[in-house]
Amino acid sequence: MPPSRETVGFVGLGNMGRPMAANLARSGFEVIGYDADRDAADAFAAATGCRTAATPAALAGAATVAVTMLPTGAVVRQVLLEEEGGALASGLGVGKSGGGLVIDMSSSEPMGTRALGAALAERGVALVDAPVSGGVAKAADGTLAIMVGVDDESAAQRAEPILRAMGDRLFRAGPLGAGHAAKALNNYAAAAAFTAAAEALIVGEAFGLERETLLTIINNSTGRSFNSELPMKQEVLPRTFATGFRLGLMAKDVAIAADLAEAVGIDAPLSRNMKARWAAAGAALGPDADFTRAVTLWEGGPPE
């Protein structure tokens, strides 16, 4: 693939961001990494040969596009608009063809994304929200599913080749914020399905049903779901609890979905229940625990 004219500043070189940025570099983009954790930035540079920037301002001076892969929407806003007086947003793409573009691939709050888009527009920078699904394994092999929210068609066209270097399924979810809304609502639905399957196994066992027997019945009947077929069967039954998706992230996404329902005036009582249950699990087991370990709390015994 010929080199791209875009220089991509990749902000957030953690477990997901590092392989995503590496795939961009392999696809012909000039990538400059930035992470507040200098060790993470140095590890990325050593593994890929890419340059890194010491500050957001330095990144803005070199890049035309900034991709953010950060813990929360609040952190995204802080890096773009608050650190160094908002140097990253103000300097991104200045004097370069097309101006500045930010692609937020974090799991951010949809309403906050719309507000961020307005603040960036005042600085001449376009925003695309493009959260991902697939985990570290798919980040590494470039097969993430990416949900895209965007108002500006020219920004969408600029973002598309960058996104296709990291994912093999792009979904145009709708206007700005729609990608973040779709990601949170998907994970909320997944969390609810996992919770229901876990409760079914716990209740069934208390009645005298063997868990494996009941799960086989569910997976061959209308109760079947992704969570009953994979995490429940592969992680919960053998007590391995190793999907790689952290409990804190699940609790965060469920909370985003529940808060979105409230923001748009929809009474969604199940979402409120899920928000409380997953928040309690995160508090009890810690945000870095695998999300499937929530079952051990719901079983009523000591957490494993």
Place of tokens 């994979």: 230
100-104 vs 65-68, strand pairing mode: parallel
Query: How far, in Å, CA of 97 to CA of 80, rounded?
Result: 20
Return the SS3 of 168: strand
Q: Which residues are registered as beta bridge partners of 144?
A: 167
Q: Find, among 245, 27, 234, 63, the residue nearest to 136 by Cα.
A: 245
Q: From residue 213, how far is each of 205, 233, 292 by CA, in Å?
A: 10, 11, 20
Q: Percentage helix, strand, coil, to 5, in the chain?
A: 55, 15, 30
Q: Find, among 157, 178, 160, the residue nearest to 169 by Cα.
A: 160
Report the run of H or E that residue 67 belongs to, with start and end: strand 65-68
Contact by Cβ (8 Å): 145, 130 = no
The verdict on whether 233 is a catalytic residue reads no
144-149 vs 132-133, strand pairing mode: antiparallel
List the catalytic residue out of 183, 233, 252, 275.
183
Catalytic residue list: 183
